[in-house]
């Protein structure tokens, strides 16, 4: 069991949960606004306000669904598995940065070391998939050399 991998996995879970919570809160607020909007003599204004609240609800429901997909993807990762090649759940150390393969969650820091959380479907994830330590690859004119896969 690698404690760094555990921490990165937990940070990704926290990232997803934060997104889910924010989307749910926005949905709740939009629905409250829609219910609180009382019909006045200005019927068009009422209908416009309700429609805008409905659009906001729909937009946030799409964000919630996307965050749920990320959570499902994370649930397929076992952070206790030691990887010997780049795949979901692996930590990849390169000459141009450190990567955690799982979901695209941006920059994460564990024990003062920076990692980029990327998905296997991202351009760099596609390039690295299946590679092992000692392998080199090029992405967007930048040369990468994998020194370690954990």
d(CA 104, CA 88): 12
Residue ranges of the domains in the chain? 3-75, 91-149
Q: What is the pTM of this model?
A: 0.88
The whole-angstrom separation of Cα 61 and Cα 88 is 27
Taking alpha carbons only, the member of 105, 95, 96 closest to residue 7 is 105
Output the tens digit of pLDDT for each of the chain's 150 residues. Answer: 799 999 999 999 999 999 999 999 999 998 888 777 655 545 565 577 778 888 999 999 999 999 999 999 999 999 999 999 999 999 999 999 999 999 999 999 999 999 999 999 999 999 999 999 999 999 999 999 999 999
């Amino acid at each position: 069991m690698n404690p760094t991998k555990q921490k990165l996995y937990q940070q990704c879970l926290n990232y997803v949960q934060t997104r889910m919570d924010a989307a749910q809160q926005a949905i709740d607020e939009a629905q409250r606004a829609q219910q609180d909007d009382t019909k006045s003599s200005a019927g068009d204004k009422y209908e416009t306000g309700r429609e805008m609240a409905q659009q906001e609800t729909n937009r946030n429901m799409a964000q919630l669904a996307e965050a749920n997909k990320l959570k499902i993807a994370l649930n397929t990762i076992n952070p206790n598995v030691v990887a010997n090649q780049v795949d979901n759940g692996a930590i990849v150390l390169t000459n141009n940065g450190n990567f955690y393969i799982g979901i695209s969650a941006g920059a994460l820091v564990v024990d003062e070391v920076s990692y980029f959380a990327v998905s296997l479907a991202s351009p760099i994830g596609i390039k690295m998939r299946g590679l092992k330590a000692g392998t080199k690859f090029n992405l967007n004119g930048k040369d990468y050399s994998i020194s370690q896969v954990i």
